[in-house]
Structures are given as C-alpha cells and as structure tokens.
Chains A and B, each alone.
Chain A
Amino acid sequence: MHIAVCIKYIPDPEAAFSQFSIDEQAKKVVPAPGLRHVVSPFDEQAIEAALRVREQHAGARITVITLGNEASRNALKHGLAMGADDGVLLMDPAFDDGDGYTTTLALSAAIRKLATVDLVLTGRQAADGDAGIVGAGIGEELNLPVLTFAKAVVMEGAAASVVRVERVLDDGTEIVEADLPALVTVSNELGAPRAPSLRETMRAARKPMVVWKAADLELDVATLGAAGARTARERIFVPSKAVQCEFIEAATPEEQGARLAARLREAKVL
C-alpha cells in the first residue's frame, strides 16, 4: 500500500495577528520575520492518519508531498520525522502566485508521477488560506472517490482494498467507504498528531527527498501559477470593528452577575 499525504508549510496559524502585516501593493499577508512556521495542523493530522493506517497495515509506504519553496523542506522533514518514508518537494517559479486550482494541478501531477498511490490524504483545508479546495480538487483531478472531513480512517477488506471513514457532519458523523484508490481529507476531530521521536528524527535525515519542477511533471507552465489561476486577489484588508466594551464592575463576582442582568434589561438586550 502506498499513501501520499499532501502538506503545506505555513506561518503558525495560532500566532497573534499582530505578528502579521498586510502588503496592500502585493495584496499579501506578510508574517513578521522569524515567525515560526509549521505544517498546517490539519495536514499534520493527515500524516497522523497515514501513520495509523500503517500501524494497521505494516509495510505501507507513506510519501509526503508539498508545493513550496526551500523553507518548505522543513515541512517534509517534519513529516519524515513523524514516520513518513519519503518526501517530494514541488518547487518552481512557475508555481508562484497560483491559487487552489493551480496547486491542485501540480500536486495531482506529482501523485500521477508516483504512479502507485492507493490513498491520498490531505487536511480539510490549509490553515492560512482556509479555502479547502485543493484536497477535494486532487480527488477530482485524479478521478478518485472523495471522502471529506475524516475523524477516523481505516482500511477494510481482506486485501485492504476499501477505505472506511468516519466523517464529521453538522449534527453528528457518518461512516462511509469507498474502493481504493481514493482521496480523504482529514479534520481536527482525528485527534492530536504524534510528536516526532528522537529515533525517527535521526532516521529522517537519511530518508529520500526529491525536488520536482514543472517540467518534471510534464505540466504546461501556462496552466500554472498566476497565469493559470482562476481567481485573482483584488484586495485584501482587515475588517474593522467598532465595539466598545462596557465592563460591569462590582465588589463580588455574584454582584457582577446580578448587575449584568440589570444592565442588559436597561439596554433592552433582554
């Protein structure tokens, strides 16, 4: 069994937004220099899901793939240190300033080039753009059944030919399955990803990592990056808020509670 996990290297999504600025000219959000970067949390959980599948099926090979720049090697290293077997970095100026559509094309081409993939895993969305297009998009591009928002992923059938997923819904969950090959996007309900062990981290340094350019993927550069994008960012801004908080003061918390009720009635909120 061969599992491909697509991951993205992003600025820490839980960092205070004061650590970011907006470049209106470039229409980009710019992290402060030195701000910690991480594997997007849902993607890290997708790696965890792959590792759990491998615990069930010893011998499964896990390839982590990212589209990014030199620094994105750290994302692959993290995946390898968690226990993945090899890494693929898609890096080419032709990929720059693309959108979910062009990223999907490149990642799909890479998975096609790997040729043997049975299961593709991604996070439900990247925690910077928050779009959630690429995962399902890869499924469509590769013509695979798509199962989104997984909180559990297991293999079924004698030859592990079926993937069974518990999907998170608005009002509960559902258990669905599909024949392999298939694509699954992972949600945070999967649970915390494992921390890399010292042993795996040491081993990771010797695991293979390849870099593929657009030409290696036999992709037409006109379909990639800004040229191929189907959306263009017109503007980016921080929404303004103009709420002034009225603090309810009193000698004891009990009195604060009572006074809040009175104040809400007075202000006709209640």
Chain B
Amino acid sequence: MSVLIAIELTGEKPSNASLELLALARTLANGNPVVALSLGADVGLTETLIARGADKVVLGARETFTDINSDVWATCATDAARKHGATLVLAPHTPFGADIAPRLAFRLNAACATGCVSIDRQDGALLCTRAAHGGNVREVLRMKARVTVATLRAGVYDALPADTTRKGEGIILTEPPPSRIRVLERKRDAAEGVRLEDAKVIVAGGRGLGGAEGFKVLEPLAHALGGVVGASRVPCDLNWCSHAMQIGLTGKTVTPELYIAVGISGASHHLAGCGNAKTIIAINTDKDAAIFREARFGVTGDFAKVVPALTAAIRALPKDL
C-alpha cells in the first residue's frame, strides 16, 4: 500500500515522531511509495526526508506557504493522499496530528484510529492497536475501509538512520489552497533548551508539589541531570505551570531514559504519556500511590526534603562511571 505521512516540524526540522512514522511506513508499504508531506518547510528538507525513508516528498515551501493552519493542512493532505493513491495516511499523535486525522478520514472515506501504539498487517488487513479508557486498556481495531488514517504515539518505532544514498522524487506545491479559518495570533512559549519530547531526563511534578513554588525545587534537580521539567495535568489546570508542560493522554507523549515523578499519583491518564520511559522513579508521600507500581525505584517521603538532598547528592557524584 502506498503511505502518506504528514510531517510535523519542530522549528525547522521534522519532529522525531514524524521520522518514526517514515520508518513504520517503510515496513508497511511493501515496496509501494512512501510519500512525505511537509508544509512551510525549507526546500532542503526534501533530501532529509528521502534520506530518512521517503520515496516522494511533497513540499509547500516556506516562502509560498507563509501562513499554514490546520484547514490548509487538511486540504493539502487530502489532495496528496488522493493524488498519490495513498491507502494509509499517518500523522504523529500530537495536537497537530490529532486535529487533522479525523478530518482526513471523513474526506477520504477512510477508517480512523487515533493514538495508536502499533500498526500491523494481518491477512491483508490493517490492525491498529491503541490505548483507550484513559490508557487502562489496549484495543486492537481491524480497519474495514479501503483507506486508513491513523495517528501514532511517539517512541514506539525507531526512526531510520539517514541514508544519503537513497533516491527519491521532490514535488513542490505551487500555492496554498484557500482557507476557511484565519490565524490572528500565535503565542508560542519561549523555546528554552530541550523540548520535553526530545528530553533524555524529565523531572515531572504533580499536585503533590502544592503550588508553583514546588516547581522551583524540581528545576535544580532537572538541571543537575541535564533534563527538563514536566508536569501532570493538575498543576497545569491550576496554573502552577504552563500547559505546554502537561504529559499524558491529552498532553505530551514522552520517552526519556529517566522519568522522575514527584508528587504524582500515577493515574492511567498520566502514564499514557510517560509509561514508555526506560526507568521511572517516584517520590511520593503515599506508599500506596499507583505510580510505585510503574517505578523501578521509589522514595516515600516529602518531596520538599527528598528532592534537594537528591539534587545535592547527584551534584556530588563523581562525573564518570
């Protein structure tokens, strides 16, 4: 089957989640073309995407696609899927992908599965495995329409290493389609350092931090580990921190080597976004908190006392193993 991938950009570059989709597409395409669609991109991206597994790259250049929005994306992706005969359309399960996927599905008369953790082929049919019921269960859906549209959570498949000898075709879109929505303003959080999605170490805080000041206690720990600070939904809803820090079912999917959950109870909705971390450590006053069932190491205690001591001890560790 021919596969179309909606490539999400982070800054100038394709997101890791998008590159992972290219790798998955190569295994599912069975020799048919893998088509990558990127809007508002530098034309140089064509080569990058071919090196990472695309056979064709449809690109709306930054200079012409100056004001891309979700409506423009939905139209361009629908057109590209039709034009290139894609029977599988993939997007990362982020606000970007979760926004366009259902719309593409209706336009393409497709079956739709969101938030997938794997896609397999069985007897000619596609099986999409996804989390449901707040991450507590997995359901395997057999896709019954000719076309399937799916979004995938990050960190399930490994992106292919760049192979600059790969050959492919670049197609440049001449002009953006008309849009029914108008973007008036973008309020982006100042991009400081590493993004949560790319972080190797995350120190995440929850309601147990008791307030915005609690995050001040986590920052030195994250810093000492070269990591970044994230959050459960509660502190975001309470405005203790930016909603962009939310990890979980309706927040970000993260896959760090080390995830330190501080004052987080371990609701399935939260774990849906961090359960794939290599090692989870929990610091919580409640020894029965669900998070300890996911953690390799646990400390029962008040974070305000445990975390500064942990930070100091980490700083004092000899640099090399």
Contact = CB atoms under 8 A, between A and B. Distances in A.
Contacts of B295: 243, 245
A177 B187 contact: no
B112 to A, nearest CB: 5
Summarize B's interface: helix, strand, loop or mixed: mixed
B233 interface: yes
A149 interface: yes
A257 B308 contact: yes
A171 interface: yes
Given A128-B132, A246-B297, A261 B310 contact: yes
Chain A interface category by residue count = 35 or more
A173 B141 contact: no
B111 A245 contact: no
B267 interface: yes
Contacts of B181: 145, 147, 176-178
Interface string B263-296: 0000111000001000111100001000011111
Contacts of B111: 101, 230-231
A50 to B, nearest CB: 20
B186 A172 contact: yes
A167 B321 CA distance: 46
Interface stretch (A77-85, A207-215, A262-270): A262-270
Instruction: Name, among B110, B244, B280, the residue most crowded by chain A CB atoms within 10 Å (CB to CB).
Output: B244
B164 interface: no
Contact of B188 (A147, A172, A254, A268): A172
A151 B95 CA distance: 13
Given A130-B132, A141-B106, A258-B312, A176 B141 contact: no
A175 B102 contact: no
Contact of B144 (A128, A232, A262): A232
Interface string A210-243: 0000000000000000000111111111110101
Interface in A247-263: 247-248, 252-258, 260-263
Summarize A's interface: helix, strand, loop or mixed: mixed
A133 B310 contact: no
A125 interface: yes
B103 A146 contact: yes
A29 B295 CA distance: 26
A196 interface: no
A225 B168 CA distance: 43
B293 A245 contact: yes
Contacts of B69: 176
Interface in B235-268: 236-237, 243-244, 249-250, 252, 258, 267-268
B143 interface: yes
B112 A101 contact: yes
A193 interface: no
Interface string B102-141: 1101110011111100000000000110111111111111
B189 interface: yes
Interface stretch (B27-35, B57-65, B202-210, B298-306): B298-306
Interface string B68-86: 0111001000000000000
Contacts of A97: none
Contacts of A124: 250
Contacts of B268: 17
Given A175-B183, A260-B281, A145 B71 contact: yes
A174 B68 CA distance: 12
A93 B67 CA distance: 46
Contact of B102 (A132, A187, A243, A270): A132
A240 to B, nearest CB: 10
B243 A168 contact: yes
Top 6 nearest A-B pairs (CB, nearest first) are A257-B309, A261-B313, A140-B106, A253-B305, A257-B310, A230-B111
24 contacts: A20-B136, A22-B137, A128-B133, A130-B131, A131-B130, A133-B102, A136-B106, A139-B103, A140-B102, A147-B70, A147-B181, A168-B95, A171-B244, A176-B183, A189-B236, A231-B111, A231-B142, A232-B142, A253-B306, A255-B309, A257-B313, A260-B297, A263-B297, A269-B281
